[in-house]
């Protein structure tokens, strides 16, 4: 029955995958805290206006991909498709602007109605960071350095390429938008339907078109760098110089854009060729106009988000699952003592699996199946002596160990 299957574009994260995901988040969290970021958790759903305002009424996410519904009170609610809007909303509604600058990181599920494929799900997970209240290029450099540090610690940096571009300031974008519209309008008949729509509502996003016909037309389009103001050029030069100073390699990609007006200056992506069509692993940029677009005061911001599923596919060295100690009752009356010992060993910091049922041979077979490091066997003889038989399941060596000494001896198997 279809009702007993996971919804298309979602999946169960079973223990092995969950351990990979947790490793990614644990590494990212530890490094973000090293950079002075604090964790924030915003609701999984918000009033739809939060995302409609920030992502643009005509964007694909708003028009095609958001999970939106009316709740029982009649309010229009949307499952969050990304993390930045909720944080900007929290800044405004929580009165946090008086504490600027602020540095946040977050991790959790996001939701978009997209065509599911490798590395792209309808419920997916992101780790992201934001710096709010810092207008200087130092913040851009810091969030990129943080991203590179996380990727390197996960063993994924060598599999990625950092692409950067500048979106300039408002004066730069206004000047470039005019010449881009003039150029694209001359080729309007050959543009894809999406690009013709963007030409009227969001022309910079034409540069990000995946349509091959659009790409051919845009190869001869005017280049954004030719229309940058002196201030915008200086800002981008500081970002590039800062990345070089901290030893982060990058390539400039003048076609890397963000379509909405509140984006400015630095845009960047870490991309890979190891995940097929889903090449972007981590993406971000500066969004100085976002908070004011939501009704707050003018507040500079810069940040990024990374797909946890995509990152986990690039990670090769995941800490192994800890090998447990198997506690095995093997005689009448041993079950209660086995339960007591298992709890005592767990409280001592050991991973313990209790043999639930079956004869000794079956319980030992299960101990080997779960890759136990040692077995603690409790039979009638052991009970009478107040000791357990400890068997090293790698070497086969056995010894009799008093109950009181078990935790100390088994610490060597941790």
Long-range contacts of 286-289 (CB under 8 A, 24+ apart): 286/140, 286/167, 287/84, 287/262, 287/263, 288/135, 288/262, 288/264, 289/261, 289/262, 289/263, 289/264
Predicted model pTM = 0.88
Cα torsion angle, 181, 187, 192, 193, sign: positive
Q: In which element (H, E) is residue 132 found?
A: strand 123-132
Return the minimum-mean-pLDDT range out of 159-163, 173-177, 236-240, 340-344.
Answer: 173-177
According to DSSP H, which parts of 154-248 are helical?
A: 170-185, 193-201, 212-218, 230-245
Q: Which run of H or of E encompasses 365? A: helix 360-369
Q: Decide if 2-169+229-314 and 325-413 have a common fold.
A: no
pLDDT of res. 24: 97
Domain 2-169+229-314 belongs in CATH node 3.40.50.920: no
Tokens of 134: 């810092």
CATH of 325-413, one of 3.80.10.10, 2.30.110.10, 3.40.50.800, 3.30.300.30: 3.40.50.800
What pLDDT score was predicted for residue 119? 66
pLDDT of residue 100 exceeding 50, the answer is yes
Give the E-state strand segments of 330-386 in sequence order: 352-354, 374-378
The token pair at 318 is 């995941």
Using the structure block, give the residue that is written with the tokens 């490091």: 373
Strand ordering across the sheet containing 398-402: 352-354, 325-329, 374-378, 387-392, 398-402
Cβ neighbours for 189, distance < 8 A, ≥ 6 positions apart: none
Dump pLDDT digits (tens) for 295-328.
999 999 999 999 999 999 999 888 889 999 999 9
Provide the β-strand partners of residue 47. 77
Q: Which residues pair with 39 in a beta bridge?
A: 105
Residue 342 · residue 410 · CB < 8 Å: no
Segments making up each domain of the chain, as ranges: 2-169+229-314, 325-413
Please write the tens of the pLDDT for every residue from 73-92: 999 999 999 999 999 999 99
Tens of pLDDT, residues 33-63: 999 999 999 999 999 999 887 776 556 676 6
pLDDT digits (tens, 9 = 90+) for 269-280: 999 998 876 689
- pLDDT score of 32 more than 90: yes
Residue 15 pLDDT > 50: yes
pLDDT band at residue 259 under the 50/70/90 scheme: low
pLDDT at residue 1, as a whole number:
46
């Amino acid at each position: 029955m279809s009702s007993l299957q996971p919804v298309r574009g979602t999946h169960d994260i079973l223990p092995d995958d969950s351990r990979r995901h947790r490793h990614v988040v644990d590494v990212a969290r530890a490094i973000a805290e090293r950079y002075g970021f604090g964790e924030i958790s915003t609701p999984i759903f918000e009033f739809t206006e939060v995302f409609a305002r920030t992502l643009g009424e005509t964007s694909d996410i708003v028009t095609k991909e958001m999970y939106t519904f009316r709740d029982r009170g009649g309010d229009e609610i949307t499952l969050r498709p990304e993390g930045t809007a909720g944080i900007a909303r929290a800044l405004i509604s929580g009165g946090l602007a008086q504490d600027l600058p602020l540095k946040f990181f977050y991790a959790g599920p996001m939701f978009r109605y997209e065509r599911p494929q490798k590395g792209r799900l309808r419920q997916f997970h992101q780790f992201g960071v934001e710096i709010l209240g810092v207008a200087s290029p130092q913040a851009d450099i810091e969030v990129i350095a943080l991203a590179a540090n996380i990727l390197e610690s996960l063993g994924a940096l060598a599999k990625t390429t950092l692409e950067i571009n500048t979106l300039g300031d408002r004066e730069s974008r206004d000047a470039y938008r005019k010449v881009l519209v003039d150029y694209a309008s001359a080729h309007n008949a050959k543009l894809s339907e999406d690009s013709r729509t963007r030409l009227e509502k969001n022309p910079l996003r034409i540069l990000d078109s995946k349509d091959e016909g659009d790409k051919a037309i845009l190869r001869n389009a005017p280049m954004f760098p030719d229309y940058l103001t002196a201030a915008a050029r200086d800002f981008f030069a500081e970002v590039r110089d800062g990345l070089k100073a901290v030893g982060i390699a990058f390539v400039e990609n003048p076609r890397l854009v963000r379509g909405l007006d509140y984006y400015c200056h630095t845009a960047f992506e870490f991309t890979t060729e190891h995940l097929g069509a889903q090449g972007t692993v981590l993406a971000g940029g500066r969004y100085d106009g976002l908070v004011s677009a939501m009704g707050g005061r003018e507040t500079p911001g810069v940040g990024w988000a990374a797909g946890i599923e995509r990152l986990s596919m690039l990670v090769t060295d995941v800490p192994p699952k800890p090998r447990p100690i198997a506690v095995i009752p093997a005689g009448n009356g041993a079950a209660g003592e086995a339960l007591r010992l298992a709890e005592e060993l767990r409280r001592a910091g050991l991973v313990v699996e209790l043999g639930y049922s079956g004869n000794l041979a079956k319980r030992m077979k299960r101990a080997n199946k779960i890759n136990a490091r040692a077995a603690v066997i409790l039979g009638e003889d052991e009970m009478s002596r107040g000791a357990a038989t400890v068997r090293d399941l790698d070497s086969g060596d056995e010894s009799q160990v008093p109950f009181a000494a078990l935790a100390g001896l088994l610490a060597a198997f941790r």
